[in-house]
Structure formats: C-alpha cells, structure tokens
Amino acid sequence: MRYILTLFLTLFLTNCVAGMKPEDFKDQKPKLIIEEFLNGNVKAYGVLQNRGGKVTRQFSADLDGKWDGKQLILDEKFNWSDGEVQTRQWKIIKKDEHNYEGTAADVVGTAKGFSYGSAFKLEYVLLVPVKGKEIKITFDDWIFKQSDTIAINRAKMTKFGFRVADLTVVFVKN
C-alpha cells in the first residue's frame, strides 16, 4: 500500500510541474507580440469542451484592442451559440520583454503573462457564472501565432487542481 501511495504521489507531483514552459518557444517563429497582434479588430471562434472532451458550447467573439505603448485595452464581446452574450475588458500592462500583468472585472487578482517566440501564456483565475453562482476557475491559457493573421488559443480550466474543461479558440486578425 505504501508503494502505491508513493507512486501515486510521485506521478501526481510530476504532472503538476512537468509540461510546457513559455521559454520552450523562445526560438519559434512567427514571433507573437501580443500587444501588436491584438491591436485593432480581431475575430475569434471557439469551442468549450467538458473534461470528457464533449463540446458543450461554441462561440464567436469580436475583440477590439488599443495599444498605447504601455497598456493594451482589449474589449471582448462573446456571442455564445445558446444566445448568451458576454463582455470583458482586459487591461494588460507590458512589464518587460517577456512579462505581462492583466486585470479584468471578472478576474480574481492579477493575471500573469509570459511571452517567448511564437507563444504567449496567461495564467489567471476567472469568476465563472454557473447556475446563479460565481465559481473560481483557474485558466492556463496559451496562444500560438501561426501567421500574421492567425493565432490558436488552448486553455486548460481547472478547479482544485482538477481539469474541468478545455477551451480552443482561433483568432483571425482583420
């Protein structure tokens, strides 16, 4: 029993620290400079999947970004397939070449962003409305630039360290 518990804890802890790091993409091209890519009008299309992989919702979104040299103001309008309309305004500050901080009304605390090569990672906790309540969901959000006009976003959503959903989004820059 002790061996099984040790093996389980080792595998669990390894999964917690293993995986991709933003620095893994430092030499990848095309380079994603998030404040440039999201400056102006961007269209997004996405699917939300439950932990079993079933698509539970789909959306399109209109993003309008304004970069002033220090801060990106990003207005998002989501049109969900079930008729729900959701808006969010991000304020993202570039701290240095690789580090960003962001806030939004439904984000708990401050989001932490990391930019290297073709990838941008954003870590944050979002208040998500579920059955009349707001629950805190942790997002591990990755954006990968594909071309001057296309980027792909994959987000892992967790609660208490357990995956609850995945989000896939394609961004199309106008």
Q: What is the average per-residue pLDDT within 91-118?
A: 97
For residue range 14-36, what is the model confidence (pLDDT) as tens digits? 444 458 899 999 999 999 999 99
Q: Is 47 among the domain residues?
A: yes
How crowded is residue 90: how many other Cβ atoms within 10 Å of its Cβ? 21
pTM over 0.95, yes/no: no
- pLDDT for position 76: 98
Q: Is 5 among the domain residues?
A: no
Q: Is 42 among the domain residues?
A: yes
Residue 15 Cα distances to 1, 2, 20, 103, angstroms: 21, 20, 11, 28
pLDDT score of 1 more than 50: yes
Average pLDDT of the chain to the nearest whole number: 91
Q: What phi and psi, each to the nearest 5 degrees, are found at residue 160?
A: 55, 30
**Alpha helices in 46-155, H assignment, sequence order:** none
CA distance 48 to 167: 5
Q: Is 144 among the domain residues?
A: yes
Q: How many domains does the chain have?
A: 1
CATH of the domain at 116: 2.40.128.20
Query: Which pLDDT band, with edges at 50, 70 and 90, does 2 fall under?
Result: low
Which tokens sit at 166?
A: 């995945």
For residue range 34-44, what is the model confidence (pLDDT) as tens digits? 999 999 999 99
Which tokens sit at 67?
A: 């970069």
Q: Is 30 among the domain residues?
A: yes
Q: Is 132 among the domain residues?
A: yes
For residue range 50-65, what is the model confidence (pLDDT) as tens digits? 999 999 999 999 999 9
pLDDT score of 11 more than 70: no
pLDDT score of 10 more than 80: no
Q: What is the average per-residue pLDDT within 46-51?
A: 97
Q: Is 2 among the domain residues?
A: no
DSSP letter (8 states) at residue 117: T
- pLDDT for position 129: 87
Q: Is 69 among the domain residues?
A: yes
Structural domain span for residue 57: 20-173
For residue range 155-171, what is the model confidence (pLDDT) as tens digits? 999 999 999 999 999 99
- pLDDT for position 8: 44
